[in-house]
């Protein structure tokens, strides 16, 4: 990947594409690339939906090669949800396809004429930009049908649904999977709204005629990749739990730990959790003829995705992630797997972050907009209100923070405007530190302390104690920032935290790819560099230490069954980035 594609969406006469060298961005990929471009080129005080913001798409450092489980793609910009820097990433095929075409990044700049909407096609012959007015208002699955009819289903697609066109702050960016379904999403932070503000409905990427990226030291790369893949398959989480049950294997685990934030974070357990557990979903999918074990992109050794079908065997959605099952399930008092899957499909189709949408509906239920547990009401809110852009739909489409504000509620489980995911920070205090201090707003993936707090991966830190949580979150945030730059899936962290040889093999894959000699210390340095850029951008954007806090009610209101509050002090939170 030796070139960057820049497209000025506001150029005289229409969008203009320029392909140039990497320049100062050489050696960066994924989150490292997106955050560095935003840090260097975007005025931190700009409006997120204005022409000064930039929308950056970047494959990981080893994406597009034979490296196992390395197909992630990052999307970056200034977030309309948090007001700070944002990186959201996704699986699917687009990262691999874009990397094989040689692009380290696509950067959308400027702003189009009012009402303009474009399609961008990238292939071995170059870049073509054309009018996409005919696609306006289409949901992602209908759009995929039109694109596959014209280009076939071997291409990859990056797109927005109506939520992105309407610039909702919970809008996601869809990426097609192996079956050309727009089911993988860069979900968090309103990145879809920024793509919509750039006037881009869809990007079609075709790598026909292009070969897989080749390592500079093939033997070193091949040997390391073999050891790495073996390590993933031997670990109980990446080799057994995730392939068998998907990420929803966590429902029973987190619920039993008393850390499952049911009914808008009002209690730590959900009595009907077993009805929506990973075990229940896997059994249901298998019985109906679906598939509980499936990779979202080619070359994945973990296979944590799945295909969920209805009672008649028809495709309903991809296997929902744990966070989605929680947000639309236990968080809202909904225990019907089919209703949860219908909501997951609608989120993907309309182009919405499932975490913020489920959290927004949970807030709306507390506000009395629909009854708690009303599955049909929740489906109606997403489909007919958010999907149609009604006034109520636009409030909900702005996420949990805007919903709570509109209806006068304190109980908005957000940090920097972004909804907390499926772990209550009072009962998993390490992830509470991550929620509070992450550059991205409340984000479990930014420093997944759940692994050590609950699963005892990479050590054992008591989830209910304040002791050790700052160091745990700090180290995981550093490691995650670096990992997000490589293109490897975050789920490899379970194996590399427990198995030194698997971590060493991962580093050796990178070394073999580029014929370099990175060490573990170099990986740490990369993570610190990325986080430092992100923190500095947020500071310039106006975020302060006061934004690195959980809502006060998490300190005041005890969570059952442990009757605990979040008791990490402000001084401790302010020390996370002291390295």
The predicted-structure confidence for 118-127, as pLDDT tens digits, reads as follows 999 999 999 9
How many residues appear in the chain? 579
State the pLDDT at residue 291.
84
Region 452-480: mean pLDDT is: 97
pLDDT band at 340 (very low <50, low <70, confident <90, very high): very high
Checking if the pLDDT of 132 tops 90, the result is yes
The predicted-structure confidence for 494-505, as pLDDT tens digits, reads as follows 999 999 999 999
Checking if the pLDDT of 305 tops 90, the result is no
8 Å CB contact between 520 and 503: yes
The predicted-structure confidence for 27-53, as pLDDT tens digits, reads as follows 999 999 999 999 999 999 999 999 999
State the pLDDT at residue 387.
98
State the pLDDT at residue 417.
98
The predicted-structure confidence for 12-28, as pLDDT tens digits, reads as follows 999 999 999 999 999 99
State the pLDDT at residue 515.
96
Cis before 561? omega within 30: yes
8 Å CB contact between 73 and 186: yes
8 Å CB contact between 353 and 421: no
CA distance 565 to 498: 30
Checking if the pLDDT of 295 tops 90, the result is no
Round the average pLDDT of the chain to a whole number and report it: 96
pLDDT > 70: percent of the chain: 100
Q: Is the pTM of this model over 0.85?
A: yes
Phi, psi of 554 (to 5 degrees): -75, -20
- 373 phi-psi bin (left φ>0, alpha ψ -120 to 50, beta other): left
Strands 291-294 and 305-309: antiparallel
Cross-strand pairs, 414: 419
CA distance 367 to 370: 8
State the pLDDT at residue 196.
98
The predicted-structure confidence for 380-409, as pLDDT tens digits, reads as follows 999 999 999 999 999 999 999 999 999 999
How is residue 368 written in tokens? 């009395």
The predicted-structure confidence for 400-443, as pLDDT tens digits, reads as follows 999 999 999 999 999 999 999 999 999 999 999 999 999 999 99
Checking if the pLDDT of 293 tops 90, the result is no
Checking if the pLDDT of 298 tops 90, the result is no
Residue closest to 3 by CA, chosen among 27, 20, 18: 20
Helices (H), 384-499: 391-397, 400-406, 429-437, 450-453, 469-486, 493-498
Checking if the pLDDT of 508 tops 90, the result is yes
Cβ within 8 Å of residue 255, ≥6 positions away = 269, 270, 273, 330
State the pLDDT at residue 13.
94
H helices then E strands: how many in the chain?
25, 17
State the pLDDT at residue 332.
98
CA distance 317 to 350: 13
State the pLDDT at residue 366.
98
CA distance 197 to 208: 30
Residue closest to 357 by CA, chosen among 314, 421, 265: 421
Cβ within 8 Å of residue 385, ≥6 positions away = 392, 393, 396
The predicted-structure confidence for 265-288, as pLDDT tens digits, reads as follows 999 999 999 999 999 999 999 999
């Amino acid at each position: 990947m030796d070139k960057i594609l820049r497209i000025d969406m506001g150029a005289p006469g229409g969008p203009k594409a320029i392909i140039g060298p990497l320049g100062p961005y050489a050696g960066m990929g994924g989150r490292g690339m997106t955050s560095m471009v935003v840090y260097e080129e975007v005025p931190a005080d700009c409006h997120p939906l204005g022409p000064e913001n930039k929308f950056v798409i970047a494959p990981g450092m080893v994406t597009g090669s034979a490296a196992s489980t390395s197909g992630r793609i990052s999307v970056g910009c200034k977030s309309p949800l948090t007001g700070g820097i944002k990186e959201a990433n996704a699986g699917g095929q687009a990262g691999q396809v874009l990397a094989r075409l040689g692009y380290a990044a696509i950067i959308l700049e400027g702003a189009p004429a009012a009402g303009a909407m474009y399609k961008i096609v990238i292939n071995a012959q170059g870049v073509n930009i054309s009018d996409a007015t005919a696609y306006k208002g289409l949901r992602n699955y209908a759009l995929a049908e039109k694109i596959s009819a014209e280009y076939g289903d071997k291409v990859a697609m990056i797109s927005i649904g109506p939520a992105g066109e309407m610039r909702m702050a919970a809008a996601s960016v869809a990426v097609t999977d192996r079956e050309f379904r727009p089911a993988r999403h860069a979900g968090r932070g309103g990145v879809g709204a920024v793509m919509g503000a750039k006037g881009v409905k869809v990007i079609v990427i075709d790598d026909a005629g292009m070969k897989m990226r080749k390592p500079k030291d093939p033997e070193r790369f091949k040997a390391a990749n073999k050891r790495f893949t073996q390590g993933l398959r031997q670990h109980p989480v990446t080799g057994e739990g995730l392939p068998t049950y998907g990420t929803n294997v966590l429902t029973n685990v987190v619920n039993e730990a008393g850390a499952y934030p049911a009914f808008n974070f009002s209690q730590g357990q959900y009595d009907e959790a077993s009805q929506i557990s990973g075990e229940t979903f896997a059994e249901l999918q298998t019985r109906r003829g679906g598939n509980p074990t499936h990779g979202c992109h080619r070359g994945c050794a973990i296979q944590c995705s799945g295909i969920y079908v209805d009672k008649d065997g028809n495709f309903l959605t991809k296997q929902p992630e744990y966070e989605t099952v929680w947000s639309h399930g236990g968080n809202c008092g909904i225990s019907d797997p089919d209703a949860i899957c219908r909501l997951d499909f609608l989120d993907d189709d309309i182009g919405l972050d499932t975490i913020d949408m489920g959290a927004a509906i949970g807030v709306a239920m507390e506000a009395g907009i629909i009854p708690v547990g009303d599955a049909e009401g929740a489906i109606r809110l997403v489909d007919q209100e958010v999907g149609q852009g009604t006034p109520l739909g636009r409030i909900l489409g702005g996420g949990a923070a805007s919903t709570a504000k509109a209806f006068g509620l304190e109980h908005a489980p957000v940090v920097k405007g972004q909804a907390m995911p499926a772990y209550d920070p009072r009962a998993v205090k390490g992830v509470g530190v991550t929620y509070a201090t992450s550059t991205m707003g409340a984000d479990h993936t930014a420093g997944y302390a759940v692994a050590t707090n609950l699963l005892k991966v990479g050590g054992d830190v008591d989830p209910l104690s304040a002791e050790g949580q700052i160091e745990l979150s700090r180290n995981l945030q550093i490691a995650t920032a670096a990992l997000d730059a490589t293109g490897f899936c975050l789920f490899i962290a379970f194996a590399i935290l427990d198995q030194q040889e698997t971590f060493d093999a991962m580093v050796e894959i990178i070394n073999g790819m580029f014929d370099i000699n990175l060490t573990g210390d170099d990986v740490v340095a990369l993570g610190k560099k990325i986080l430092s850029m992100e923190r500095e951008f947020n500071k310039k954007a106006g975020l302060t230490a006061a934004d690195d806090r959980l809502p006060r009610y998490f300190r005041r209101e005890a969570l059952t069954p442990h009757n605990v509050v979040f008791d990490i002090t402000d001084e401790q939170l302010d020390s996370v980035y002291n390295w």
